[in-house]
């Protein structure tokens, strides 16, 4: 770069032979005395060394020679001022390059270095050359650093030391020396050229903004050093960091053209801090919808408070973090915070604990454990002054006062500091928890959090947790959740892939491997489609545990096209403070269709669909189990469905709208069917035929309705005569009410096909 060539900039002052009216004995400013009026100065036209030159008698302690012309000082441009001097007679002075710095208002800019190194003249007639470099950046080799607000300079030289000597001065040379510092053709600007100082203390905000304004499509270089930025800075053009920056927590750095983790990590000299500042930029700036991790593996030493990083509490505009790995570095930062405290519970305020001892030490997001507490109940909020805790779900059977345990797991990405977060997406990432950390904690409120094409690997306790309703319309697509308990017996595992408290979750095409429980879902409107979850172990004839748990009775959900392996679907109402049936919808609204159910080497009493009422009076009022394949390997399974009556049983007399049809059974001792067509043979004449449908009816229910009774072949009486009369039907016969009877007008025998239902269709 040479401004004199590329921009036609005039740097050279005129020769002394042209006249001394433009050479000042002062600072060179307008009105200063010029040498054409001083009798001690003259032009010598024929010096043997210099040709034309200035001859001067030194009369002042500091004899100044300044060009009255204004030599511009431009960002990124470095000037070399050179003078050749020789002593002629008398005392010999010292000589140095000097100048005067002016701003746009033609005022002197004080506080700057305005002289170069001094050189003594020691021999008469010996030519001595002095030079100095002036520029806007504090580079090595720059003698006078003149950054903003300097706009120009009056340059020349000083003669110092004794007076009375005569010296001759060759024509002054001012030239562009930028090539000393830059490549000849450069496509970047250096922030130092605009006054940046990498001492970690000085505020470089203005210098960075000036460099950005001057770049005009070129890159921006931040060289070695630590550059403090006290205010917000946006760089419009690609930035390259060999040095680093410091920025206050509440200020942001926007890198528009390389908005990615590798650049932010380089900018801040630290991966975690670079990620935090990148997330902050993502949420405060509208120019980017996603933050690219650049395929980078980020070593994480502790939970990342995403709200603190963003510096915001509410955000509901689509944003994405993509393409990288969070790798947990084990350490005490991942320890679970466990607190034990007494508290009171009243079903009149079902989502609140009161009189909570030591409430200040209980962290929001903690799992709550205690008598009568269902699965996946968390602390959503707390009021220290009132001594209360807000719960994510009611408690089904808590005493009025008891001791509770609160466990706050440490999550790699912790969104709990947000008040509300919506439309946030994580895609193509892996969270590798190393068995010491949990994965993701959602915000307490928000909609459409989306995790897709990602891996949550080896979480210690939880893969993804909702401690409020930030899971509304949660979407998880094509993700892999792998537990850290692969070799642990199914009944001893404690980890869980995910939970949901709100409605409308979409879980599609995911894979879940050997968790204690795969998912606990409250709310309704869920779509669980195309997933594979498996929870087997190496225990011979071992018990299996729930994989999918619904905790809302009228779930209005679909379980379709999944591979449900060595675990079962459990359906409860454990998140109900009044679990006994009242004026409400009971268990219903569930469609289970087109799934593969398998179990291997399990106890024979295992079942894939388990209802567990936590209160009395509940019944089925809408369940469709169709088109599924059930298969038991290395042993047989008694039946595919059951009711867990450890707390309460179903009200079988109220069951309606239940369909079990089109399923296939392999290694299953008893097929489940509703409606079921029972083929019944009466070998001897009898007026009362009792047809037993109990084995086929779902959940050991009652034979509540007969929709058809069709004779196959002749119905004959004792005289072998054909009987064409129609029997009447009595339902709910027997001690368990799971049989029906056909009453004929006379004793007859024969074969009939009786269609029996466990429910009353509506």
pLDDT in tens, 548-587: 999 999 999 999 999 999 999 999 999 999 999 998 999 9
Environment class of residue 430 by beta-carbon count within 10 Å: exposed (0-12), middle (13-18) or buried (19+)?
Answer: middle
Spatial separation of the C-alpha atoms in residues 169 and 154, rounded to whole Å: 17
Confidence band (pLDDT; 50, 70, 90) for 178?
Answer: confident
Q: Which two tokens stand for residue 547?
A: 């994989």
Distances (CA, A) of 460 to 399, 440, 470, 516, 592: 31, 12, 22, 11, 31
Spatial separation of the C-alpha atoms in residues 536 and 518, rounded to whole Å: 12
What pLDDT does residue 762 have?
73
What pLDDT does residue 185 have?
46
As a whole number, mean pLDDT of residues 684-691 equals: 97
| Secondary structure letter of residue 263 according to DSSP | H
Cis peptide before 687 (omega within 30 of 0): no
What percent of the chain has a predicted confidence (pLDDT) above 70? Answer: 98
Spatial separation of the C-alpha atoms in residues 227 and 225, rounded to whole Å: 6
| Residue keyed to tokens 């800075």 | 233
- What is the per-residue pLDDT across 390-429, written as a single tens digit (0 to 9) for each? 999 999 999 999 999 999 999 999 999 999 999 999 999 9
- What is the per-residue pLDDT across 322-377, written as a single tens digit (0 to 9) for each? 999 999 999 999 999 999 999 999 999 999 999 999 999 999 999 999 999 999 99
| Secondary structure letter of residue 718 according to DSSP | T
pLDDT for 186 beyond 90: no
Q: Which two tokens stand for residue 706?
A: 């007969």
Spatial separation of the C-alpha atoms in residues 607 and 387, rounded to whole Å: 44
Q: Which two tokens stand for residue 133?
A: 């470099």
- What is the per-residue pLDDT across 9-28, written as a single tens digit (0 to 9) for each? 789 999 999 999 999 999 99
H-helix or E-strand containing 129? strand 128-135
In terms of DSSP bridges, do strands 480-482 and 511-513 run parallel, antiparallel, or are they unpaired?
parallel
pLDDT for 473 beyond 60: yes
What pLDDT does residue 249 have?
94
What pLDDT does residue 393 have?
98
The three-state DSSP-derived secondary structure of 50-62 is CEEEEEEECCCCE
The three-state DSSP-derived secondary structure of 390-444 is EECCCCCCCCCEEEEEEEECCEEEECCCCCEECCEEEEEEEEECCCCCEEEECCC
- What phi-psi label fits residue 469: left (phi over 0), alpha (psi between -120 and 50 degrees) or beta? alpha
Confidence band (pLDDT; 50, 70, 90) for 181?
Answer: confident
pLDDT for 3 beyond 60: no
- What is the per-residue pLDDT across 372-383, written as a single tens digit (0 to 9) for each? 999 999 999 999
Is the CB of residue 356 less than 8 Å from the CB of residue 403? no
| Residue keyed to tokens 């109220």 | 654
Spatial separation of the C-alpha atoms in residues 282 and 261, rounded to whole Å: 11
**N- to C-terminal Cα distance for the chain?**
87
As a whole number, mean pLDDT of residues 60-73 equals: 96
pLDDT for 8 beyond 70: no
| CB atoms inside a 10 Å sphere around CB 166 | 16
- What is the per-residue pLDDT across 524-555, written as a single tens digit (0 to 9) for each? 999 999 999 999 998 888 899 999 999 999 99
Mean pLDDT of the chain: 95
Is the CB of residue 292 less than 8 Å from the CB of residue 403? no
- What is the per-residue pLDDT across 296-323, written as a single tens digit (0 to 9) for each? 999 999 999 999 999 999 999 999 999 9
Greatest distance between any 2 Cα atoms in the chain: 161
What pLDDT does residue 476 have?
98
Of the CA atoms within 13 Å of residue 465, those in its CB half-sphere come to 33
pLDDT for 4 beyond 90: no
As a whole number, mean pLDDT of residues 495-505 equals: 98
Q: What are phi and psi of 36, to 5 degrees?
A: -70, -10
Spatial separation of the C-alpha atoms in residues 542 and 517, rounded to whole Å: 16
Spatial separation of the C-alpha atoms in residues 294 and 290, rounded to whole Å: 11
pLDDT for 5 beyond 60: no
Cis peptide before 675 (omega within 30 of 0): yes
Radius of gyration (C-alpha) of the chain in whole angstroms: 43
DSSP alpha helices (H): ranges in 493-538?
Answer: none
pLDDT for 2 beyond 90: no
As a whole number, mean pLDDT of residues 720-731 equals: 96
H-helix or E-strand containing 272? helix 271-284
Q: What are phi and psi of 576, to 5 degrees?
A: -135, 120
What pLDDT does residue 140 have?
86
| CB atoms inside a 10 Å sphere around CB 529 | 18
Is residue 352 helix, strand or coil?
strand
Spatial separation of the C-alpha atoms in residues 214 and 216, rounded to whole Å: 6
pLDDT for 180 beyond 90: no
- What is the per-residue pLDDT across 98-137, written as a single tens digit (0 to 9) for each? 999 999 999 999 999 999 999 999 999 999 999 999 998 8
Q: Which two tokens stand for residue 577?
A: 């403070």
Q: What dotted CATH number matches 3-180? A: 2.60.120.260
What pLDDT does residue 204 have?
97
Spatial separation of the C-alpha atoms in residues 465 and 500, rounded to whole Å: 8
């Amino acid at each position: 770069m040479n401004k004199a060539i590329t921009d036609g900039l005039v740097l050279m002052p005129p020769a002394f032979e042209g006249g001394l009216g433009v050479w000042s004995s002062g600072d060179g400013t307008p009105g200063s005395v010029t040498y054409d009026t001083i009798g001690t100065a003259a032009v010598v036209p024929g010096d043997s060394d210099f040709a034309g030159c200035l001859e001067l008698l030194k009369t002042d302690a500091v004899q100044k020679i300044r060009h009255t012309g204004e030599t511009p000082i431009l960002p990124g441009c470095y000037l070399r001022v050179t003078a050749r001097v020789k002593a002629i007679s008398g005392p010999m002075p010292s000589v140095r390059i000097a100048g005067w710095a002016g701003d746009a208002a033609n005022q002197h800019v004080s506080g700057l270095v305005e002289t170069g190194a001094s050189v003594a003249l020691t021999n008469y007639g010996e030519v001595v050359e002095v030079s100095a470099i002036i520029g806007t950046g504090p580079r090595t080799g720059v003698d006078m650093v003149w950054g903003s607000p300097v706009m120009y300079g009056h340059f020349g030289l000083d003669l110092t030391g004794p007076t009375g000597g005569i010296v001759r001065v060759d024509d002054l040379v001012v030239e562009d020396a930028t090539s000393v510092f830059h490549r000849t053709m450069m496509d970047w600007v250096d922030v130092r050229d605009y006054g940046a100082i990498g001492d970690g203390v000085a505020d470089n905000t203005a210098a960075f903004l000036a460099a950005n304004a001057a770049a005009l499509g070129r890159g921006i270089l931040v060289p070695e050093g630590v550059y403090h930025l006290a205010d917000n800075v946006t760089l419009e053009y690609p930035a390259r960091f060999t040095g680093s920056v410091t920025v206050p927590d509440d200020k942001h750095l926007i890198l528009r053209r390389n908005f990615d983790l590798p650049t932010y990590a380089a900018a801040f000299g630290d991966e975690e801090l670079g990620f935090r500042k990148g997330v902050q930029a993502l949420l405060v700036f509208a120019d980017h919808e996603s933050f690219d991790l650049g395929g980078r593996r980020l070593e994480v030493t502790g939970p990342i408070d995403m709200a603190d990083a963003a510096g915001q509490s509410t955000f509901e505009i689509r944003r994405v973090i993509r393409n990288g790995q969070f790798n947990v570095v084990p350490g005490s930062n991942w320890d679970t915070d466990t607190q034990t405290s007494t508290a009171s519970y009243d079903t009149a305020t079902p989502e609140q604990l009161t009189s909570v001892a030591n409430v200040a030490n209980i962290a929001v997001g903690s799992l709550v454990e205690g008598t009568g507490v269902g699965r996946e109940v968390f602390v959503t909020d707390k009021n220290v002054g009132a001594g209360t805790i807000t719960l994510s779900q009611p408690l089904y059977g808590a005493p009025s006062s008891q001791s509770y345990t609160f466990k706050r797991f440490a999550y790699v990405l912790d969104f709990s500091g947000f008040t509300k977060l919506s439309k946030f997406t994580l895609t193509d990432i892996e969270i590798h928890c190393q068995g010491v950390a949990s994965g993701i904690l959602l915000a307490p409120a928000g909609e459409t959090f989306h995790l897709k094409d990602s891996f949550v690997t080896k979480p210690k306790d939880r893969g993804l947790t909702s401690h409020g309703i930030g899971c509304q319309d949660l979407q998880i697509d094509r993700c892999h959740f792998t537990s850290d308990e692969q070799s642990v017996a199914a009944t001893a595992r404690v980890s869980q892939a995910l939970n949901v408290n709100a409605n409308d979750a979409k879980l599609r095409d995911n894979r879940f491997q050997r968790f204690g429980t795969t998912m606990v879902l409250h709310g309704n409107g869920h779509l669980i489609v195309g997933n594979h979850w498996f929870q087997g172990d190496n225990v011979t004839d071992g018990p299996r545990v729930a994989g999918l748990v619904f905790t809302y009775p009228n779930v209005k959900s679909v379980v379709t096209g999944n591979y449900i392996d060595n675990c079962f679907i459990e359906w409860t109402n454990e998140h109900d403070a009044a679990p006994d049936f009242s004026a409400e919808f009971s268990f219903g609204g569930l469609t289970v269709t087109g799934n593969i159910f398998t179990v291997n080497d399990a106890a024979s009493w295992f079942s894939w669909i388990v209802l567990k009422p936590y209160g009395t009076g509940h019944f089925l009022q809408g369940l469709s189990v169709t088109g599924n394949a059930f298969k038991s390997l290395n042993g047989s399974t008694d039946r595919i469905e059951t009711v867990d009556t450890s707390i309460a049983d179903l009200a079988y007399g109220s069951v309606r709208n239940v369909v079990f049809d089109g399923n296939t059974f392999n290694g299953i001792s008893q097929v489940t069917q509703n409606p079921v067509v029972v083929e019944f043979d009466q070998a001897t004449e009898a007026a009362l035929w009792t047809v037993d449908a109990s084995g086929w009816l779902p959940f050991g229910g009652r034979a509540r309705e007969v929709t058809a009774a069709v004779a196959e072949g002749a119905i004959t009486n004792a005289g072998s005569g054909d009987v064409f009369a129609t029997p009447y039907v009595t339902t709910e016969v027997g001690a368990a009410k799971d049989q029906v009877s056909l009453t004929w007008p006379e004793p007859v025998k024969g074969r009939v096909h009786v269609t029996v239902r466990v429910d009353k269709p509506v």
